[in-house]
Amino acid sequence: METGDFTALLDPAIRVRRVAGVNGLDMQILEAGFEDTGRPTLLLLHGFPEIAYSWRRVMPKLAEAGYHVVAPDLRGYGWTTGWDGSYDGDVASFGMLNLVADCVALLHRLEKPKVRAVIGHDFGSPLAAFCALIRPDIFSSAILMSAPFAGPPAFPVGEAAPAPEPDNHAALAALERPRKHYQWYYSTRKANDDMLRCDQGLSDFLRAYFHVKSADWPGNDPHPLPGGTAQDLAVMPTYYIMDAGETMAETVAPHMPDAATVAACDWLTEADLAVYARAYGRTGFQGGLNWYRNMTSDTLRAPLRLFSGRAIEVPVAFIGGAKDWGVYQVPGALDKMADAACVDYRGTHLVPGAGHWVQQEQPGAVVETILGFLRETDGTVTCNG
């Protein structure tokens, strides 16, 4: 079975293997610290457009600290198979509850009844949050990265009909410079082909996309937004609030780094980039985009209201890049995470010199923060997995 042909790029401490029978998936995982079956386990969940390979720079140090570290290619990504990648297919299978089931099923296949921490980046962050919210008996603690968790969607309160949500999409489109939200663009039928078959080619698209959301791009100067109006959101860069007539590939193309900048990028070498290009050249983007479709659809998100009013009870910390707009893209979410969504919140850590890809850009600082959290919570959780 093809694994992506990137094993030579990995630290020798990391192995690649496949785990069959994972909630209908044949899942590929990266694994470190597997030699001692008694180690506590860390489960690392990637985001978009990433794969398990995105954790390569932190896994050896976490294993060296005494942990069994597992990073899967999640449903819709990389070399994991068994999912429907068509736009008109089973989009509900990419819903959050089934993604949590994927994580639980993987742990069962690995014979790990409990994990010391679930750690999620980007779209892996809400997945990690829901893992901890729904199954605190399995997920002893959580570290959320780059995307704050404001809590599950709520049921309307009281007998009166709920006030309709403001139509920010219409308001964005009506701005003097018409705009659109990237998450709703990602939910459209055309988004996959726009990126997969873009004029600049898949590799250059990915290079520009990773660059423009990193600390290497000088245009990133994130800060909290005063509110969630169209005018407030339009302050963010166009990779979040896009120009209305452009695709994502067209949005990032002007920010393609020059050859000297690429050569100096030690966190994403050309060999690293080729791994991503092979992965997405093989699968396309639709699997990952189906996650967005579940998030932007009120109907598909409705089952999560079952957890309305429930907060995460296990210890939680947040890590983000100091140059990452993702920390602030949902106004108020950072405060809600600390004040309401988590019972035992252990702090916000913004890493200097990192943008959105914090665990790739500044792996040393991320490992130090993770290990500090694990030490701090060592006496407050129990774990035999």
Number of domains composing the chain: 2
> For all residues of the chain together, what is the average pLDDT?
95
Residue 87's domain comprises 7-153+298-376
How far is the C-alpha of 31 from the C-alpha of 29, rounded, in Å?
6
Final residue of a structural domain among 228, 262, 291: 291
Please tell me whether residues 172 and 239 are part of one structural domain.
yes
Please tell me whether residues 347 and 210 are part of one structural domain.
no
Compute the CA torsion angle 359, 366, 255, 236 (nearest 10 deg). 110
Q: Is the pLDDT of residue 333 over 50?
A: yes
Give the pairing of strands 41-45 and 68-72.
parallel
Please tell me whether residues 173 and 233 are part of one structural domain.
yes
How far is the C-alpha of 6 from the C-alpha of 28, rounded, in Å?
13
How sure is the predictor about 381, in pLDDT bands with cuts at 50, 70 and 90?
low
Please tell me whether residues 250 and 337 are part of one structural domain.
no
Please tell me whether residues 12 and 149 are part of one structural domain.
yes
Please tell me whether residues 190 and 240 are part of one structural domain.
yes
pLDDT tens for 48-94 read 999 999 999 999 999 999 999 999 999 999 999 999 999 999 999 99
pLDDT for residue 1: 40
Task: Write down the H helix ranges in the chain.
Answer: 59-64, 96-109, 124-134, 168-173, 182-186, 191-196, 202-212, 230-233, 248-252, 259-264, 270-283, 286-296, 298-301, 333-336, 358-361, 363-376
Final residue of a structural domain among 291, 306, 321: 291
Q: Which residue has the higher pLDDT, 161 or 12?
A: 12
How far is the C-alpha of 343 from the C-alpha of 339, rounded, in Å?
8
H or E stretch at 381: none
Q: Is the pLDDT of residue 9 over 70?
A: yes
The DSSP letter of residue 337 is: I
In a domain, 159, yes or no: no
Q: Residues of the chain with pLDDT > 70: what percent? A: 95
As given in the structure block, the two tokens for residue 94 are: 């990419």
Angle subtended at Cα 99 by Cα 63 and Cα 9, rounded to the nearest 5 degrees: 40
Please tell me whether residues 269 and 348 are part of one structural domain.
no
Please tell me whether residues 139 and 52 are part of one structural domain.
yes
Which CATH number does the domain housing residue 368 bear? Answer: 3.40.50.1820
Final residue of a structural domain among 275, 291, 307: 291
pLDDT tens for 182-214 read 999 999 999 999 999 999 999 999 999 999 999
Please tell me whether residues 189 and 286 are part of one structural domain.
yes
Distances (CA, A) of 171 to 178, 192, 298, 327: 9, 25, 19, 23
pLDDT for residue 358: 98
Mean pLDDT of 167-195: 96
